[in-house]
Structure 1
Amino acid sequence: MAVISAPHELSDANTYLALESVVGRQLHMKCEGLNFGGSVKMRAAVAMVAAAEKAGLIGPDSVLIESSSGNLGVALSVVAAGKGLAFVCVTDRRCNATTAAAMRALGAELITVDEPHPVGGYLQARLDLVRELCAADRRRLWLNQYTNEANFRAHYEGTAPQIVSAFPDLDVLFVGVGTAGTAMGCARYLRDHAPGVRVVAVDSVGSVTFGGPPGPRLIPGLGTSVAPPLFEPELFDELLQVSEVDAVRSCRLLSSHGMLLGGSTGTVVSGALQWLERNDPERRLRTVCISPDMGDRYLDTVYNDAWVLEHLGPASLLPLPGARRPRPPAVLSAV
């Protein structure tokens, strides 16, 4: 039995879902959203704040500040509230209402960017604003997930060793790329300790991380409009991009089997299935994908038929093989 004294002490349940009955392959999903922050970003949030404390950067009047489209903002809100620290999240219009409400409920202050940078999009606009806010008040401490080594070290020291311990015969790891903290931490650990494991990085179509042109992206989480400084593409065996249409279809496949997971998870699972279809015709490979988040913050988007039809079109609602048809609502007779 685990007993904790603060919510940020629980950052991982080390739980895996076997998806073979759903997708017909030896694909296991590491569920990183089973914590008070609801996502893999709890690892980075805890690690970055701890590193700042160790370096003596956080004082009694410090105000943590970070740029986030959602998940890290919630995670830092949890950590800050648990430690009695002030936190400001600089976000943008893509941050959904549920996520914003969660941060406010945890005591965070939100500043929303309404206009994207003409080249770097919303992310560059957020980064520029964070720099301005820090320059105007020395109490503000920017943790900077985009360059902070504690971001990837949290996964080098935690996530990746857990996976190797649980799956010593692992063939392939699929991991999504946002700030690249999770991806780089896992890739570096596997190169150092399990070089026979192939590592496939998964990103969203429209992201510039893999060197492609920027494009519209509606689902927050993976992807970026500014190349993440932490990312080193040569450490990966393959770089794979997934459309938001395919991400939504994978989310709904999982939800039809009782797994309500986030848009980033749908992207990674979709990428894994596409890669396995091409590279594992005999269905023998033992594989793991990292699920970054849960689905409750996507109820108004990914799981809302009207939103999906308006923004992504009817193809997004086509069921993948294995998806179950929703049951009609029960009709109860009045007594």
Structure 2
Amino acid sequence: MENGGDKRTNNLGLNLFVSKKYIINTLFSIHVEKHIYFRISQVDEIEKLSELIKFLRTNGIFIRPTHVNGLFKKILEEASNRWVDIEGIYFEFIKKIVTTNPNYSGVDIDEINNELNNIVEELKRYLNEINLKIPYTHAMRYVKQFNSEILPEDLISTNSEKLETETIYFLNFNYTDSLRKVLFYKKEQNPVVNYIHGELNKEEQLIFGFGDEMDKVYKELEMLNDNRYLKHIKSFMYFKNIKYRHLLRFLESSEYQVCIYGHSCGLSDRVMLNQIFEHKNCVSIKIYFHEYENGDTDFINKTMEISRHFKNNQEMRGKIVEFDSINKIPQMK
């Protein structure tokens, strides 16, 4: 870390001194406006980014984005209030340029693309620092759900009373090896795992961008005849390897049930999810849901997100399996 001032740290706390600037990376710097001392454990106890930002501001510490009209600044503003979709914010920036003026002075396409590249590099660095350990007892709770049968009541119509599970195909949007650690305990079967957006520990580029070609502005992006606006569109990144074609082969192979397990089903993967959900071989969609501390769940919100990937709402209503409390995702403490 480079810094414009001086800091002292120990196992218990951190001293930061007034009117100092700490350069963290190319995305932002830290500005300290008053002398402060706090325990490191106070930060370790914070779970949400919005809470961290509030804590820092309360103590006179401010995150200053490098670019005043940039992508990271917008992400930081959104994160102060809620969970943010970085890929979605990026695409909104791109659309803003197109719908206003390609020469819009407030947003520069090269700057935005470079910022997203830097965000991906920082994400990779952060994920590489995580060493997630999944105990056997926790893993087996996940494996039990992975092994669940496709029930007759999950289906509207099929050629048989019960759809036999011949292959469990994991379309994994996660970059880490957490799924592999869980499946290590799944000895009786050899499931297929497709890391569709890349693996952190492999020599390959992670796919991070936007995939909503169904958006009405996307056609305008193409008509600009400027490939910089398509640089982070996922469809073009999928051509770098065989993973997407592998998915297509599976979709065409036989009937299948989709199980949503932890995916937000946001618009950043819209074209792919539309192809999966509306495929003739997709017989139903089962949602494994998260339960919040107050007892509410994300089930209904997830159905709304899924609906945005359908062109045919009648088909959507027939495929989504109704709520069942047994489909709650176990949470590690």
TM over 0.5: no
Higher relative contact order (CA 8 A, sep 6+): 1
What range is the shorter-chain TM-score in? 0.3 to 0.5
Q: TM-score, normalised by structure 2?
A: 0.33
Greater Rg by CA? 2
Q: TM-score, normalised by structure 1?
A: 0.33
